[in-house]
Structure 1
């Protein structure tokens, strides 16, 4: 049936209206508000491609439909439909392009997460799905959070790659232990820098103002056991670096059938970072360890922990310290119709519940238990308690072999509660000869006469006849007379021997060789002693912890354990950008090299090589100093080097050599701890001293204060009948143009007023923002037990540590200029009384050093 024209017109009008309506909706959805675009932006590129194909298919289908069912449409109308379709496709393609472009622009941009705090006090920051790989993190600590100063933190970085080629990164900053004041709030700041970020992304984490920095307890060592004299076992655990102080600790023991709590004691220690360490200990009966199932358990809980943590130790755990060890076993020496004894020594065990069993192997390799009877006798074991409260015992088996005896080998088997399986040791096959054993090198010692005594220890050989010879030189043709001493332990057949020879020291005698030959050996054996055995040991160069321009510095190198005191030490220097240059104290007065002072200890020598100089910023910054040691027993020489020197530019300006004292800036004082006499007794005068140095100008103010026991306020002391405060005597240090002085307080203590009191030395100077205070700590005043002593003269005291030579046995050197003399005065001390010759040489060198600087 042919449709009517009116129907066609109506149908066309309706179709045209539908197409235009679709165009308006599409245009509005694309160019409209951001709220309409955002849902499209969430499509992935794959979804956008599917949408484009669907739209194109729909338009083609619609156009074909109209052309097929409305063939009478005019060309004009068909063009309109085509244009509408083209516009629709163009707009859809534009929308999809915008979606894809937006997603591509945001692709691989680092996603920075929030800072997270881990349970152990560290902080971490995660960044996900970024490319390229290059990324950097920076961490800072800000305390308090309102502060403008930032402390940089070290961090570690872990990266992983995803399947799509992007990367993930986790940056963890170091633990803040020791870097943060635990009583104050703080802020952790982390910044992430990446090429696709317009600017670094900075995240922050701020602590709770009430909590501060909480630290989780750290267990650095396993549960410890130690033996007490009454046979008890002390169990202890150390918990370190936690905050706040309160922590719950409980101990219990478990026998497998019941569990019982044990009382314990805790000791707390405050660390420099205001965190705490705790040592918790309890005692258990020693016989409780007889049960292999027994275990001791310790639990602890801190507010930084979600749940209790624990450690436990059983007798058979790997950490148990007192398992038995078979330390010695006699060889089986068989001679027909002669009694043979075999001994097994067991040591280092606790508790003293030990079982020893013997077994015999015959020619058929059958293992047969041995028990007391007519043929074998097992002596009763006697256990001996050692100084460390462990036990040692020896089990002895005796028998008399006959011509047809089958004893080929004996085995000693030991059982103990701490052992999962018994341990055992064999005598080895039966034999009539035993080869000597030499496990130690040749020993030598220096005699007072200057001779060298050399010895060799040879053990466990049989029979007694042994030939030991000493020879010397490269060709080993010169024989040296020696003496042998034979040792035989009671009831044992084997022998030990010590062979000794005495020689005059002569390099031509080396290498020294000792050779031993025994009838049980196929060929002789020997050991040699090289001359390098007497060569010096040279330590690293000790550099002061803080080197400052224009202040005296001493480099020291310890040389020890050498024989023959003909040592040669030379110093050299490699200045930055220059070649090595030997330092000669005779021609260059900038440096002084003291003469070597040899000290004899255990018949060997030791000494300290020193280089004294005043660092200069221009000449010594970055320089490397070298100490070279030569000795007849050394080939080649030994060399030690410093790292490039780092210099502080105080108190003078960089490059200031001391020519212009008026150019020195204000320099703050360095205040040492107060020196307190070792013993304070009632009615005996004592002096408190505080050394102050390195300050400029010399307008220094020192105030002495006293804080009575149990009182809150402190009182300022004035010179009166009880206290004397000598006036300060400022001494100018010519090499730095700064001053030094000693603040003193002289008093005669009484038990009622001074026991437990604390004295304070307060130092004020124009270069300081606030005063520096040093405290003595509570004093301990003793009351004489026999009679009262009359007061001693003022100033009689002994400084704590005087005469000890300082840490490491190094000499101390102090230079100062008295007011009545133009040259420097030197005081040296080494804790051993010093050496007059070395002292005078040192004095002469420093006088030359003083004349050099005065001439400048």
Structure 2
């Protein structure tokens, strides 16, 4: 019997060698430009473990493929023995394509001893895509009675993209029209800005959301962004700025003001609350507090602003309570609050009367009364001001406490009489209190219109008889300080000319100090003694002129035109017994 022999070769022409490599591609969903992409081939069923893998690229229009360059990262996993004793591995190519790589081919070439020539798998012309990138949230631009919402998508390819805007509330989802503006980049990718206009009234509902979605062939799922006015990045929430109040004054209308600005939409509400000292909760202010909010004003940046005001007249009982301004707006999760902090209610000193003057022995007591101030601390300073110097004067204060816990004070300062003999001296009092922006002050000088101790001048004229000696008496009273001078003047009846009477010859003058009076003023008397005659004195006028520091110009008192009667004896025989020299008749001017 003839023996048959058969020889097995890895490269049998009839392909009877069973363990040649098989290449299975792992699908790549998208080849995305600018992003790392991995091409993978599972190679299995080969024996022996003697496999080599190389990668090639064939650009569009090229006749030959060329090995990939260094920017392509290649790898082959270590061969793994399978249950049937064959081997398998995975060949990978990691690369970051650009749009220039579009329609080029990537080829995986496998060599094995069982193959006459290399086994190849090609991707076919690559379809490189750009996935839209949304790097920023929806931007919002304010317009007249509307908001422009904008979305920017960058670096996508191809150009076709679907963008949809919706306005979503609890009741409905409403589709909103939009406009798109495309741009082309240097690398031939595209960008788009999509604008959608939302009416202002729709945003007054804090639960409304503006949603934009986009679909592109490079994406497995739609992309989306949302915007609501309660988003953390919403830029037009109200800002409250307090208008400072220097003093909260008891018994006077005070206005607290807050400027509220930068908000959108125009849907702001303001409420006021008060929290008493020691209270746990604040309560709405009552009717004696007058509240107001100005109409919202549109600003150049299209936001709104207004001013909220609270007018109230506090008492000291309101001290250390808080007043709270609470602002609500659709953009806020909860109300925005600004508190005054504990109120420091103050009472501003009131000076209702001028400095009062009381005469003493060789001094004057000047007194100032200040009323209804709070707190008690007050600084009162007296000075005596002349051309040469300003001299500080000591004082004493007497405080009183009122029913409403406010205070009053009487401040007394004693000025030496000699200081007031200078008519240019002024007594000044100043007071400073924390309720005041500027010091208060009053002044007193003896030439003030209401100074009470100016000279009072009276002349007594007796019945005058021809050729009978008579005396004119002038009394000057109510004088302070003790500085006075006086003189007699004669005024001619025909010419009106005046002559100073020297007190010699036909006229005798006597001056008498009447001394200090019970009210501490000074009095004086001056007598003019002469013998009147019809020829010289009929119709003439005698004047007494007084000078005193309290009067700027000399004071004059006149007798009026003198009436000279006939001889005394003649009148006596006619029954004028009341005109005897022992009992002259006087009259007062």
- Greater share of strand residues, 1 or 2? 2
TM-score for both structures, normalised by structure 2: 0.45
Higher helix share: 1
TM-score of the aligned structures, taking structure 1 as reference length: 0.32
